[in-house]
Amino acid sequence: MALNTFTRRGLAMLAGVGIAALTIGQAAAADPVRIAAVVQSLDTEFNVLWANAANNHPLVKDGTVKLTVLDGRMDALTQSNQFDTAISEKYDAIVFVPVDIDAGNDPVQRAKDAGITVIGSNTLISNTDLYNAYIASNDVEAGKLLAKSVFDKMGGKGNVVIGEGMIGQSAQVQRLQGIEETLKDYPDIKVLEQKTANWSRAEALSLMENWLTAHAGQINGVIGENDEIAIGALEAIKAHGLDPKTIPVAGVDGVTDALLAVKRGEMMSTLQDADAQAQGAIDLALVAKQPDYKPKAAVWDVNGGKLAWEGGKQQHYSVPWIPVTLDNVDALLSMRKTQ
């Protein structure tokens, strides 16, 4: 009996090895789908979160997709050159997070002319019709959320300063549009200062220090078009010996330091879902190549269907914003630790 059991186990193991070898051989025989991700920059936390999410897509992890993440270094010309490289190397698809809303149109057109699928993600080009599909959050809505949260904390009156992102990026253009539309509903709010901080915490810190000196005791609220700008402003407020709880500050992205500041009651933030934008873009690139493809990322058809797959047939997918609150901040921080 012992011999028979051993024999059966050995045969089962050998059969398993044969099946495994066959599966590996089949996988090796099929060339991986090659996707280039041309991103703005890998110097900011949100873009790093985006890139990490893309690399954690199930088909990237198992080798079905070969993903190459290219750092655009916040330079439109660099991104244009990266497109040319992807075109010459005959990538199957490009996922694009553009630096400039207008300068990104031409490289996308060149890729399309070469028969390469282009999926937009996060920030956009002005001619979105050039994309096979795009997935992003509504930045006009973000601007409105930002402005309303600060204006309401100010009691609907007083002086506000605005730290903008890099001029010419879709997020800067559209978030400012949302802020300006909201200002129309608050006639007693005055904008004291408005200037770009280029999405940079350090630049925002310097700007805010100057504004606090030039308008001592007059600044009642701060809008940062992203969290890095809001955090820089918050650091300047603290450095001036002011209580941040008396000057409402808001940003967008849900980077780690912003989540911690929300937990301390020092600022407000809205999470931008990097997982949905990055992994969703990869699924959209794959369905463009294979119409019956089923999405593998765990970002679809969740939250009551707010990000519905719909067969991958839509051109525009809008990722919902997630306001960061004292009720959800610990859960968001726990998720960040596992990424």
* Domain spans of the chain, in order of start: 31-137+274-319, 139-271
Sign of CA dihedral 154, 332, 139, 37: positive
Q: What is the pLDDT of residue 111?
A: 98
Whether the predicted pLDDT of 312 surpasses 80: yes
The residue-averaged pLDDT of 58-87 equals 98
As its CATH architecture, domain 31-137+274-319 has: 3-Layer(aba) Sandwich (3.40)
Reported as a single tens digit per residue, the pLDDT across 231-255 is 999 999 999 999 999 999 999 999 9
Sign of CA dihedral 163, 168, 169, 175: positive
Query: Does 31-137+274-319 match 139-271 in CATH topology?
Result: yes
Reported as a single tens digit per residue, the pLDDT across 131-161 is 999 999 999 999 999 999 999 999 999 999 9
Reported as a single tens digit per residue, the pLDDT across 213-224 is 999 999 999 999
Q: What is the pLDDT of residue 335?
A: 86
Full-model pTM: 0.88
**pLDDT-derived band of residue 339, with 50, 70 and 90 as boundaries?**
low
Mean of pLDDT over the chain? 91
Whole-angstrom distance, CA of residue 55 vs CA of residue 128: 25
Whole-angstrom distance, CA of residue 101 vs CA of residue 61: 31
Q: What is the pLDDT of residue 302?
A: 66
Q: What is the DSSP string of 145-203?
A: HHHHHHHHHTTT-EEEEEEE-STTSHHHHHHHHHHHHHHTT-TTEEEEEEEE-TT-HHH
For tokens 């500050």, what's the residue? 249
* 16 compared with 253, residue with greater pLDDT: 253
As its CATH architecture, domain 139-271 has: 3-Layer(aba) Sandwich (3.40)
The residue-averaged pLDDT of 9-33 equals 43
